Each structure stands twice: as C-alpha cells, then as structure tokens.
Amino acid sequence: MFTQIERPAERPPGVGRILSDFGVLYASNGFIGWLFAVTGPVAIILAVGSNGGLSETEIASWIFGVFFVNGLITLLFSGLYRQPLVSLWTIPGTVIVGQSLNHLTFPEVVGAFYATGVLMLVLGASGWVRRVMQLVPMPIVMGMVAGVFLRFGLELVRAVFADTIIVGPMVATWLILSAIPRLGRRIPPIIGALLVGASITLLFGRFDAAITLEFELIRPVIQAPVWSIAAMVELVVPLAITVLVVQNGQGFAVLRAAGHAPPVNAVTLACGIGSLISAVVGGVSTCLTGPTNAIVVSSGEQKRQYTAAMFVGCLALLFGLMAPTFTRLLLVSPKSLVMALAGLAMLRVLQAAFVTAFRERFSLGALVAFLVTVADMPLLNVGAAFWGLVAGFAVSWLLERPDFTAEAKP
C-alpha cells in the first residue's frame, strides 16, 4: 500500500546545511507566516470553542494539538523533502465543527476527527487521493464553504456597530494596509489590525480584570472519543473535503506556482497521521496550509525556502507549549476584538469562496449548497454542511449535466 508514497529527491540536509541555508530573510518570512497563523486563525478556534461550550483548558489543549503536532510534521517533512511544507489545521473544518457543536457533544466530534484521520491515512497510502479530490466539483464545495464562512463576515459587521471604538480602527487599519501593498508587505493587514485593536483595548482598559493572566505551560486534556454514526456522517466527508480539496489543493497550487513539486500522497499521509495524533487532545484535522506557505515562498532562493518552513515549525512548537497563556490572553480580550480578528482573517477566504462557487460552471448547484448550509437545518441529526454538499451535487447532476461533461474534458 505504501508504495505510492513519493520518495525525497535527495538526502535530507544535516544540521550544518540547514544553518547554512537559513538566513535573516527566511527567518523573517517564517516569522510573518507564523504570526499570521496565531492571530485570526487562533481567534476562530477560540470563537468556535467558546460558542460550542468548551472549557478554557479544552480550548488550550485544542490549540496545543494543532500547533505542536503540526509543528513536528512541518519540521520533519520540510527537512525530509527540502521543500516548504507547512502543516497546520483546516480553518473551514474548524468552522464546520462549530456548527456541529450546536447539537453534537465534543467527544462525538473527536470521534469524527479520528475517523477523518484514518480516511486520509488510507487515501495517502493508497495513492487514491487525486481521484477523491476530483469527485465533487470545486464550485459546489466552495458554495458549502461560503455558507459556513458567512457567519464570520456577518459577525464582523455586527462587531463594527456593537463596539465601534475598538473594531472601527481595526477595520480601517486592515483596509489601509490592504490598499497600499508596500505597507502591507511590511505589516500584514491582519497583524496591523491586531496591534491596533490590542492597543485601543489597553488604552481604554477593556481587558476582563476578573481573569488573571499568568504564564503557564500546557497540560493537555486527553479527549476520549464517542463513536456516533450521526457525527461520522455529518463531519467525516466535509472535514476530509476541506482538507484535501480546499486547503491542500490551495497549498499545492501555491507551492507549484513557486516552482516546488510537493509530494501529494506523502502530504496526505502526513495529514492523516497529524489528524489522529491531534485528535487525542481534541485538535481538528491537519492540512497543508495555503496562506502560511504563500508567505514562506514569497521571496528568497527556492532551494533555501524550506528553512523558513522549518522556522515556522519551531515557532509552532513553542506556541503550542504555551497555549494556555495565549488562550487566556484572548479570553480576557473583548469579544468584539476576537470576532473582528476572526472576521477579517476570513474576509478574503469568503471572497475567494464566492468567486470560485459562482464564477462559471455548477453555479446552480453551488447556490443550492450555499443556501442549504446557511439555513443550518440538521436532518436526521446530521448537520447542514453535509446536506449542502449532497443537495448541491444532486441539483447539478439533474440540471447542469453539460458542466460535468465539460469538466471531464482535458
């Protein structure tokens, strides 16, 4: 079965070679990529966990799992293949889990994490992953993703009106840094928004004084899974699709555009392994991240960019170990700051989801997938994201058959 796993083109570099290839530019790119991952994306975990009734220690354990475990995978695979292969966690999958926590228990969700990990392990080891990635048309998938992400865009708008004094300057900063690329390259927009929001929060004393902030290392919470058929049906397929099609597909495209040849089967296998280990402490499924890899390969010599990815891995290990401290820091912040960060982090992704969903083919199926997902009406105790995919595919199969024919042509 494992004969389909790609072998490295050359021997892994030694410590001396890694240090020789490393430099200030690659440290800078790695740091900015890591900083992006620990701002908006972490705020999304906090928002999902808090709304889903998870305790502070469970949220910290989740953050530990997705950073520490994936930091190890990033170090191992980036060094082994001498390519930037930053692994983190599926953001769309996290949002889908947030919907499921409205009617499923967290142990049931963790059971689905395990099943998703096993599925990806099999797909990576067998080499079937490319065929699976082509089963559901991307516009229908992105219609479902847009429906899941819409809540974060709406929460951003509500936060602007509910807490203008903090969120207004954050949005203005994000817009200015996005509109002036020269400035945006120096300070990524989401990081600028965080700095402004944190400064205003400090200035007006808006941190929650009832929660004491102190340095603390992680004490992971081992999550015992509950094997629920409803959770498996609802979550395994959507989670696997968000990893393999949405996240990994984006990551592979970014790396190929930069001249790399990412090992698709090996990365999928790594996602399965990472998902299984992260699930032990309640972490969502592992994926090859698109945005952080894009930052890592944005400059420098192609053959040395793997060192920037390894630096991200080292920083992820440290962040995971200190997860309780950072979790509490976000918890003492105003909810509007966290929701604004999450919304701004998702804005471009939401835009890309709409563009992909309604640009050309399968637009009716994508619309149905979007509407069913937004309606958020579980059926047979299975959440709306799954039924959005089913309904969108069924409508396209009935009413957009020419699009399937056109898609099959080389």
Picking from 91, 11, 4, 102, the residue whose alpha carbon sits closest to that of residue 54 is: 102
- The angle at the Cα of 184, spanning 179 to 187, to the nearest 5 degrees, equals 145
Unique residue bearing structure tokens 């808006």: 206
Strands (E), 259-388: 286-288
The residue count of the chain comes to 410
Lowest-confidence range among 205-209, 242-246, 307-311? 205-209
Q: Which region, left, alpha or beta, applies to residue 7 given φ > 0 means left and ψ of -120 to 50 means alpha?
A: beta
pLDDT tens digits for range 75-123: 999 999 999 999 999 888 898 898 889 889 999 999 999 999 999 999 8
What is the pTM (predicted TM-score) of this model?
0.76
pLDDT tens digits for range 212-258: 656 788 889 999 999 999 899 889 988 988 888 778 877 887 788 78
- CB neighbour class for 203 (10 Å; exposed up to 12, middle 13-18, buried from 19): exposed
The sign one gets for the Cα dihedral 340, 344, 349, 350 is positive
Lowest-confidence range among 204-213, 310-319, 358-367? 204-213
State residue 79's pLDDT score.
Answer: 94
Report the distance separating Cα 39 and Cα 58, nearest Å.
19
Please count the other Cβ atoms lying within 10 Å of the Cβ belonging to residue 326: 18
Record the tokens describing residue 80, joined without a space.
């082994």
For the chain, the average pLDDT equals 86
Cβ atoms of residues 89 and 70 within 8 Å: yes
Report the distance separating Cα 347 and Cα 355, nearest Å.
12
pLDDT tens digits for range 166-197: 999 999 999 999 898 888 777 778 788 888 99
Unique residue bearing structure tokens 């600028």: 192
Record the tokens describing residue 155, joined without a space.
């929460």
Report the distance separating Cα 174 and Cα 190, nearest Å.
6
**pLDDT (mean) for 260-280:** 93
pLDDT tens digits for range 31-80: 878 877 887 788 889 889 988 999 989 999 999 999 999 999 999 999 99
Report the distance separating Cα 59 and Cα 282, nearest Å.
8
Query: Is the per-residue pLDDT at 1 higher than 70?
Result: no
Cβ atoms of residues 288 and 120 within 8 Å: no
Question: Which run of H or of E encompasses 89?
Answer: strand 87-89
- Please spell the DSSP secondary structure of 361-387, one letter per residue: TTHHHHHHHHHHHHHT--BTTB-HHHH
